[in-house]
Amino acid sequence: MTGCLDDAPPTFDADFIRRLEDLFKWRRDVRRFKTDPIAITLIEDLLEIAAHSPSVGNSQPWRFINVESAARRQAVIANFNACNAAALEAYEGERAALYARLKLAGLHEAPVHLAVFCDHATGAGMGLGRKTMPEMLDYSVVAAVHTFWLAARAHGLGVGWVSIIDPLELARSVDAPESWKLIAYLCVGFPEEEHADPELERRGWQAHVAQNAKLYTR
């Protein structure tokens, strides 16, 4: 498809729908990566797909930084280590012991690190839809992250979203403009292992909550 207005809409048959459901189910937050290098052209192709994500007022505020510098990556790892140690202190007893055993990031192994920001100074969209809910700008970037995540999984890549991190310090570490707000720090690479269930379920941290798919009617 070329994206022209005259193009006929695609037909998504039952097999495609089933495979799409598989893609959603097998999208995992990956922490265990192979160190095999990833072609930057593949990452660029995935970003092209992510650029089709919905955004408030068509503002397209996502900004992706490929963090290649060893010094910058080391700063990110130090940031994570400090925040992770502080997070551990919030737990006690068996829960603290379990937390300490969890692998919560693949920062050392993942061949690609992406810092994803929301450009709060973007003029695109001219403010449409953001007067009443300005946070929609950030949510637009979250949608782009999820689109990238699914596209990466379809190409055999794994993605890990690192949230145990000081966002302001990280923004300084990658020299992001002041108007950019960190939304996600992503580790990307080929997964070392494949699982349909989340690792935190597998390791006994949090079981699946059946009620999370409940539809409330008012």
Torsion of CA 166, 145, 31, 175, to 10 degrees: -40
Do residues 31 and 160 lie in contact, with contact meaning Cβ atoms separated by under 8 Å? yes
Percent of the chain residues topping a pLDDT of 90? 84
Do residues 96 and 88 lie in contact, with contact meaning Cβ atoms separated by under 8 Å? yes
> Above 80 in pLDDT, residue 211?
yes
Q: Which runs of E-coded beta strand occur in 92-153?
A: 112-119
> Above 60 in pLDDT, residue 131?
yes
> Above 90 in pLDDT, residue 1?
no
pTM as predicted: 0.92
Q: Which of 117, 115, 114, 143 is nearest to 56 (CA)?
A: 143
DSSP class of residue 33 equals B
- Other beta carbons within 10 angstroms of residue 142's beta carbon come to 15
Do residues 115 and 161 lie in contact, with contact meaning Cβ atoms separated by under 8 Å? no
Query: Which residues lie below 8 Å from residue 12, measured CB to CB, with a gap of 6+?
Result: 20
Q: Is 8 helix (H, G, I), strand (E, B) or coil?
A: coil
Domains of the chain, with CATH numbers? 29-194 (3.40.109.10)
Averaged over 145-169, what is the pLDDT? 97
Q: Output the six-digit token pair for 39.
A: 């072609």
Exposed/middle/buried for residue 187 (C-beta within 10 Å: 0-12, 13-18, 19+): buried
Do residues 106 and 186 lie in contact, with contact meaning Cβ atoms separated by under 8 Å? no
Q: Is 148 helix (H, G, I), strand (E, B) or coil?
A: helix
Do residues 193 and 116 lie in contact, with contact meaning Cβ atoms separated by under 8 Å? no
> Above 90 in pLDDT, residue 7?
no
Specify the amino acid at residue 139: Y
Residue 21 is predicted with a pLDDT of 94
Give the pLDDT confidence of 9-65 residue by residue, as tens digits: 889 999 999 999 999 999 999 999 999 999 999 999 999 999 999 999 999 999 999
